Amino acid sequence: MRMTVIGTGYLGATHAACMAELGHEVLGVDVDEAKIASLRGGEVPFYEPGLPEVLTRNLEDGRLGFSTDYAEAAGFANVHFLGVGTPQRKGSFAADLTYVFQVITDLVPLLRGDHVIFGKSTVPVGTAVQLQELADFLAGPGTSVEIAWNPEFLREGFAVKDTITPDRIVVGVRGESRAEEIAREIYATAIATDTPFLVTDLATAELVKVSANAFLATKISFINAVSEICESTGADVVALADAIGHDDRIGRKFLGAGLGFGGGCLPKDIRAFMARAGELGADQALTFLREVDSINMRRRERVVQLSKEVSGGSLLGKRVTVLGAAFKPNSDDVRDSPALSVAGSLSLQGADVSVYDPEAMDNARRIFPTLNYAESTVQALADADLVVLATEWKEFRELDPVRVAELVSTPIIIDGRNVLDVRLWKAAGWTIKALGRNL
């Protein structure tokens, strides 16, 4: 099938390359010329394991192309995916829908014949109906444009796998629709292996995405709230999470207590969800998400407080190594990163902070140019008075405490992600502190 993917950020670039990998003819479209030039040259402008190989293979096989020209997109296919960003609006909790509406405004007048646009961006409930109204208004004579919603659930770091073999496919359609049949053809490979394929109305499909992210955020903040109680009582949150996680109804995933969630999705999505509930006069339904957000933010403060405590009450002039800058491992994304937030706060409290991350250094430097960035883990650790593990990269999880003790000035570490083997670190002479554990 021929299709375009409009917006070639994280979501769009991955979707375009993976649809080509499934055998479709794909044109990726973006207004950002630098991004398109890079993708055309086989370069993924962000770190995502496995994606460069999929991109190059499909460029070479001629199934994948990129363009900045909407007229070319209009002529290329009758099926379009919309994957532009919906960031948090400045000065508000709500989502900024400028880019989504701009695509419809620019693309629809150029379309001829019958087209289906599948929205993939995360949007407030009710957006698809508004986009349909706009598309109906802008469509030329004899042209029909159907808006359907096909939310995307990919995780950074697993984007290729999540796109090619998703857990489920959700397609929101309006009453009389051609979109379902088209979606079944596009996702035939996944459907053939019994991937659940759910057809809903537009509002439900929009809500599925934000509800899924709100649930995940709530699960993380739940364990982090319990973590606070563990800190006040001497209980151990990791043992507790293991124990409750054995219950199938609860499950151990997303009960990783620590510095909490960040990134380009969870924080902004729960805020946009609250903002939308307010607009709908249903704000009470989601006030608990405000608490989810606050619990999450408090964990960052707790690490800074703990750093101060183990440094004798003041961070002034202390050399602190922060291991990690990305919001999670296997990503170079620093948007709302707990690691960078902690590094920034420590620095503002007078610490001499040295940061190292295997992939996120350039992005981190761009948004936080005042921190010191080391060239390697070893360089970052040199003469440290305190080490804070903030992003659980494999490289950090597997550090040898004996070797690291030889590099630092004082062997004190705060495990902000609860991933280190406490016994091993203690045996090597370290003072180890962690969130939700009395060590």
The residue whose two tokens read 């809903």 is: 200
| Residues in touch with ligand UDX (CB under 6 A) | 152-156, 213, 216, 220, 254-256, 258, 260-263, 265-266, 327-328
Compute the least distance from the CB of residue 191 to ligand UDX, in Å.
20
CB atoms within 10 A of CB 402: 13
Comparison of 85 and 263: residue with beta carbon closer to ligand UDX: 263
Examine the residue annotation and report whether 230 is marked as an active-site residue of this protein.
no
Q: Which residues pair with 79 in a beta bridge?
A: 116
User: Which own/partner contact pairs does 265-268 have at CB distance under 8 Å and 24+ positions apart?
Assistant: 265/122, 265/213, 266/213, 266/216, 266/217, 267/88, 267/217, 267/293, 267/296, 267/336, 268/86, 268/87, 268/88, 268/95, 268/336
Among 195, 222, 231, 215, residue whose Cα is nearest residue 269: 215
Compute the least distance from the CB of residue 7 to ligand UDX, in Å.
15
Comparison of 101 and 153: residue with beta carbon closer to ligand UDX: 153
Comparison of 104 and 259: residue with beta carbon closer to ligand UDX: 259
Nearest residue to ligand UDX, by Cβ distance, number only: 256
Compute the least distance from the CB of residue 164 to ligand UDX, in Å.
15
Q: Please tell me whether residue 222 adopts helix, strand or coil conformation.
A: helix
Distance CA 277, CA 9 (A): 27
Residue 279 identity: E
Helix axes 202-233, 266-279, angle to 10 degrees: 120
Comparison of 21 and 392: residue with beta carbon closer to ligand UDX: 392
**Sequence-ordered list of residues with C-beta below 8 angstroms from that of 419, at least 6 positions apart, any chain:** 389, 392, 396, 397
Compute the least distance from the CB of residue 429 to ligand UDX, in Å.
29
Compute the least distance from the CB of residue 178 to ligand UDX, in Å.
26
Distance CA 352, CA 373 (A): 11
Comparison of 109 and 245: residue with beta carbon closer to ligand UDX: 245
Comparison of 286 and 407: residue with beta carbon closer to ligand UDX: 286
Distance CA 307, CA 347 (A): 12
Identify the helix (H) or strand (E) that includes residue 131.
Answer: helix 127-138
**Sequence-ordered list of residues with C-beta below 8 angstroms from that of 208, at least 6 positions apart, any chain:** 151, 170, 172, 200
Comparison of 46 and 134: residue with beta carbon closer to ligand UDX: 46
| 254 within 8 A of 219, measured Cβ to Cβ | yes
Comparison of 257 and 386: residue with beta carbon closer to ligand UDX: 257
Compute the least distance from the CB of residue 153 to ligand UDX, in Å.
4
- The one catalytic residue in 259, 265, 277, 339 is 265
Burial grade of 38 (CB within 10 A; 0-12, 13-18, 19 or more): middle
- Compute and round to an integer the Cα radius of gyration of the chain: 24
Compute the least distance from the CB of residue 219 to ligand UDX, in Å.
7
Q: Which residues pair with 64 in a beta bridge?
A: 26
Compute the least distance from the CB of residue 234 to ligand UDX, in Å.
22
| 272 within 8 A of 94, measured Cβ to Cβ | yes
Distance CA 384, CA 378 (A): 11
Catalytic residues: 265
